[in-house]
Amino acid sequence: MSVRPIIILPDPRLRLVSEPVTAIDDDIRRLVEDMFDTMYDAPGIGLAAIQIGVPKRVVTVDLAKKDEPRAPQVFINPEILARSEETSVYEEGCLSIPDVHEDVERPARIRVRYLDLDGKPHEIEADGLLATCLQHEIDHLNGILFIDHISKLKRDRILKKFAKAAKRAAG
């Protein structure tokens, strides 16, 4: 169990399409533990494996508030089966795009199929923050960032800012 570095925009790995998990073994269990450690340390409410440089279809989520006990959830090979026509708007942020928050409109309800850590298949109906969070994290698995859902002008400004910061950091 360890906190791993989170990759930051404009790292090209954030645009990779993650590979399905073919076996839930000790490596995947260790990855999930590290993802939770990293997500809680950040702190964040969701993390996709690619955000720590692992292109596997694994997502961790915990929507518990600070004063509530932790409620960790793991989604392996998640796929969205259905989306509502009704939409909702949440202010989203991302651990890979620090200090940026924008309103994003997404389907208000989704149905997701996934595997748990025992390899058992599940389907859930999600709405509210869970629906938004799952859509955000599943987007990561497909190389899509939340800024891809905002205006081109805002997105370009954010991309330019992070490209400059990366250049400065590289010296």
Q: What phi, psi does 105 have (nearest 5°)?
A: -100, 130
SS3 string, 3-64, reads: CCCCCCCCCHHHHCCCECCCCCCHHHHHHHHHHHHHHHHCCCCEEEHHHHCCCECEEEECCC
19 in catalytic set: no
Active site residue: 19, 79, 102, 137, which one? Answer: 137
Give CA–CA dist 63/40, Å, rounded. Answer: 11
Question: Which phi-psi region, left, alpha or beta, contains residue 34 (left: φ > 0; alpha: ψ -120 to 50)?
Answer: alpha
Q: Give CA angle at 120 (114, 130), nearest 5°.
A: 35
Give CA–CA dist 12/116, Å, rounded. Answer: 29
Q: What phi, psi does 113 have (nearest 5°)?
A: -105, 140
Residues recognised as catalytic: 137
